Homo-oligomer: A and B are copies of this chain.
Amino acid sequence: MGLSERECLDLLASRSVGRVVFADENGPLAVPVNYVMDGEAVLFRTAAHNTLGRHLRDAVAAFEIDDVDDYNETGWSVLVRGRTTYAESDELPTAEDALPYAWPEGTRALVVRLSPQSISGRRLLPG
């Protein structure tokens, strides 16, 4: 059952950890990050020298969140697809709590923005 874009954006705003989905020289992969929303764009931090930083300067990528309860056979997932760019500091939100905070592995100076071309989601229902 499809979710509306409004429902997807509400779910995205309600969470703080999701997965960046992109491709490197060995194919597609997904890496969990924490994130914040800036309107309909996803912002997350990384470092320019690591896998995310090296591949997301200008890339086709996606961002996925979900919450699936296998025992009760219920859940939902949301997928944002678009392009990533390095966010320039003058285009970032100015409030401190509107910026993503990267706790895994320490300071990461680079903020990546995923600008959506599509936002879709579905509710998972028992078959």
Show the binding face of A for B, using Cβ within 8 Å.
16-17, 19, 21-23, 26-32, 34, 60-62, 64, 66, 68, 70, 73, 75, 77, 79, 81, 102-107, 117-118, 124-127
- Tell whether, in the assembled complex, residue A32 and residue B105 are in contact, meaning their CB atoms are under 8 Å apart: no
Interface SS of chain A: helix, strand, loop or mixed? Answer: strand
Expressed in whole angstroms, the Cα–Cα distance for A126 and B103 within the complex equals 5
CB distance from A51 to the nearest CB of B (A): 11
- Tell whether, in the assembled complex, residue A61 and residue B103 are in contact, meaning their CB atoms are under 8 Å apart: no
- Tell whether, in the assembled complex, residue A28 and residue B102 are in contact, meaning their CB atoms are under 8 Å apart: no
- Tell whether, in the assembled complex, residue B62 and residue A32 are in contact, meaning their CB atoms are under 8 Å apart: no
CB distance from A68 to the nearest CB of B (A): 5
Q: Out of B70, B79, B118, name the residue touching A16 (CB < 8 Å).
A: B70
